[in-house]
Amino acid sequence: MVSAAAAAGTWKLGDLEVNRIGYGAMRLTGNGMMGNSDGTPIDRDAAVGLLHSAFEQGVNHVDTAAFYFSPLRSANELVNRALSSWYGDVVVVTKVGPARDPSGEWLTMARPDQLRGQVEENLRQLGRDHLDVVNLRRNPGTASITEHFGALVELRQAGLIRHLGLSNVRPEHVTEALTIAPVVCVQNSYGLDWRRADESGLVDLCREQGIAFVPYFAVSGLRREAAASDEDDARVHAVARAHNATPAQVRLAWTLHRGPHVLAIPGTTNPAHLAENIAAGALSLTEEELAVLETPGEGSA
């Protein structure tokens, strides 16, 4: 029997096969960006139960980071607790590069020689002896990633990392990294309302190179890390009504229709929304519906 999360198919991150619907752990720490909470974080036991529910529905790809924390919660700690009975069945993707002090204040981008400490911190928090996938998240002001990516390659050769990816990058950074080592995934902001990765050719480049493209904010769109609000796009509502689906499911289905290499990592703390997000993998949109969603200027519902 095909699990709900496998309905959209699978993709390989290197030698690690995952279902295309995954889960993003950022919101487990609160509603704010990367753990800068503007809301009450989910109860620990409820968070672990939510992750177990995701795994039971076939989610086997979790996105997290050591810098996803709030005064009361650490995403990595919650993922670690939840994985205690699922070790080896779920691929964990984490990120390094940005740095925060214990109070949550953002620091400057880590130097290449500081990345080992960040990798080791993720290992400690996740309770693992190696990390499945580590994404280098680029600082927007960083032109070249060669030194940082090269430092991660050395840690991969040392056995601390299995596969490498990139986040918040442009096509030239992917090309630059590929001259150094294989890249298994690229994680950028992308969705129906935020299409820079199409305009730059990044989505196509990833497809051509066999690299997973993993959008974040695929559901929230221009709201980015803000808490969920009512959908105001008439196009999305029209398609949702035709399928008796939710607007969030339509946005996720549109994202997955961008290509078999495109994955999804929606995050939520609501069990009902979790089930809806996972079920979006089975939502098949017609060419006419995709054209409706692509039509500009439809306005608000």
Give every CB contact of residue 71 below 8 A, 6+ residues apart in sequence: 37, 104
With respect to residue 238, please indicate whether it lies within any of the assigned structural domains.
Answer: no
Q: What is the CATH number of the domain that holds 14?
A: 3.20.20.100
Report if residue 279 sits inside a domain. yes
| Domain extent at residue 270 | 8-231+255-284
First to last CA, the chain: 38
**How much is the pTM?**
0.92
> What digits encode the pLDDT tens for the residues 83-129?
998 878 999 999 999 988 888 888 889 999 999 999 999 999 999 99
pLDDT for 104: 84
Please report whether residue 298 resides in a domain: no
Quick check: is 297 in a domain? Answer: no
In whole angstroms, give the CA distance from residue 51 to residue 8. 20
CA angle (28, 239, 294) in 5-degree steps: 90
Query: Is 245 domain-assigned?
Result: no
Instruction: List the structure tokens of 148.
Output: 């940082």
Give the list of residues 6+ apart from residue 115 with CB closer than 8 angstroms, or none.
Answer: 96, 97, 136, 148, 151, 152, 155
Q: Which of 223, 280, 225 has the alpha carbon at shortest distance from 257? A: 280
The structure tokens 């289905």 sit at 253
In a domain, 293, yes or no: no
Catalytic residues, which ones? 68
Number of domains within the chain? 1
Task: Write down the pLDDT at residue 140.
Answer: 84
Quick: pLDDT tens for 241-287.
999 999 999 999 999 999 999 999 999 999 999 999 999 999 999 99
In a domain, 135, yes or no: yes
- Domain for residue 262, yes or no? yes
Res 88: pLDDT: 83
Nearest-angstrom CA–CA distance, 236 and 218 = 13
